[in-house]
Amino acid sequence: MSKATCWRAIVDALKAEKTKYVFGIPGDGISLYKDLAEVNDLQPDAAIALDLALCGDAAGVDFKTAPVRLDGGPAITVMDQDVPLTGLIAHSKIRKLLVDTAKENKIKHQLEVFSSGLTTDATAVSVSRSGVPTGGLALPSRYAHSPVELVSIRDLNDLINLLTKALLRLKSKSDVSKG
């Protein structure tokens, strides 16, 4: 997710007044060690990672590999996989919070299972300390990391709306705690 997009989402999420800490580290999956240091310092109760989702409706991309569509709404992470047995399986309470919030607010969304040999920084967060309940929200994108990267403004606005409303739904740490 671009820095500008990420900062807009963060600013709007902070308005929810439930966000205690927000941090962003550019590096697109190569900053895992930096993420671990930040998480160990902050000791969050839970985390929602923001990232891009590869669209399968782009030229040269197989929809079976990347079953996310542009203009289909933000992608709620179910799983991403780097190599066998590594990656993120989104915490059930975080995923449920995001899905239920989207449904109750009629926010268009899609589920993302990404098993193409890549993972996100959410993986590092989820395995830090003794484990941090972690989920993810991704902005569908065509041609990521190119001069002509393409995203939908509707998807972006829906992602920000979903993140903000999900944070407002949190009543206590037990809403997203381990277990």
Q: Is 37 helix (H, G, I), strand (E, B) or coil?
A: helix
How much is the pLDDT for 71? 95
Query: Which amino acid appears at position 160 of this protein?
Result: I
pLDDT in tens, 131-149: 788 888 999 988 877 888 8
C-beta separation of 122 from 75 below 8 A: no
Is residue 115 very low, low, confident or very high in pLDDT (cuts 50, 70, 90)? low
Domains and CATH numbers, the chain: 3-175 (3.40.630.10)
How much is the pLDDT for 72? 96
Return the structure tokens found at 178.
């381990």
